[in-house]
A and B are shown apart, each in its own frame.
Chain A
């Protein structure tokens, strides 16, 4: 059975601090994709990144970076030099090759960046 766990319900940081959002997943598939989505206060879901299970290369994109480790089934997301505009709920999600094509979402982490 698949499962995505985001143990951090809420995180508050002061502007310019770095913050890491944790994501742990469970799947029996060897082929799967992992995603991060952002939901700002306006409510829409914004795609941030996708990683497949065969690509453990970590990525940096501007102030965002992702750390994918299959050995610990984790796909963590770091924001460096956080800004107030980063305040949002962040969702980690899993899609499996043998699944029903849908995304399984974690419960989300609410990030508040304090000016």
Chain B
């Protein structure tokens, strides 16, 4: 158990819908990262937040957004969902920045029908 929690574990929805994925980092960690794992793209970085502020952006679509709240939990919002958004979405947390080990949550498996 990494100490990072993600809810829900599974999510099935329809095209065009909007979903919210939730992540709670390990106790004391200030950085939260979101990654997408799909068969064709592999593991890709989406976005990072540090202590409530956006720190870095990767290959995140405009239809996707995220935020980190004062209690440091984070939410990833996916809207206007397409079939290709079906993937495993991971949240990771680290104490601070790039040099720290990122510990991953169990992931949320999203299926868009």
Contact = CB atoms under 8 A, between A and B. Distances in A.
Interface in A32-88: 33, 35, 37, 43-47, 50, 52
Given A101-B31, A101-B48, A101-B97, A47 B103 contact: yes
A95 interface: yes
B2 A99 contact: no
A43 B101 contact: no
Interface string B14-54: 00000000000000000101010000001101001000000
B45 A100 contact: yes
A43 B109 contact: yes
B58 A100 contact: yes
A44 B97 CA distance: 22
Interface of B: 2, 31, 33, 35, 42-43, 45, 48, 55-58, 88, 90, 92, 97-99, 101-107, 109
Range of interface residues on A (Cβ < 8 Å): 20 to 34
Contacts of A37: 104
A91 B104 contact: no
Nearest to A50: B101
A44 B55 contact: no
22 contacts: A35-B101, A44-B106, A45-B90, A45-B92, A45-B107, A46-B2, A47-B102, A52-B99, A91-B43, A100-B45, A100-B55, A100-B56, A100-B58, A101-B31, A102-B45, A102-B48, A102-B56, A102-B58, A102-B98, A104-B45, A105-B42, A107-B42
Give the 6 A-B CB pairs with smallest separation, nearest first: A100-B56, A102-B45, A45-B104, A105-B43, A101-B98, A44-B106
A33 B33 CA distance: 17
A44 B58 contact: no
B2 A96 contact: no
B108 to A, nearest CB: 10
Contacts of B57: 100
Contact of B104 (A47, A52, A99, A102): A47
B90 to A, nearest CB: 6
Contacts of A103: 33, 35, 43, 45, 92, 102
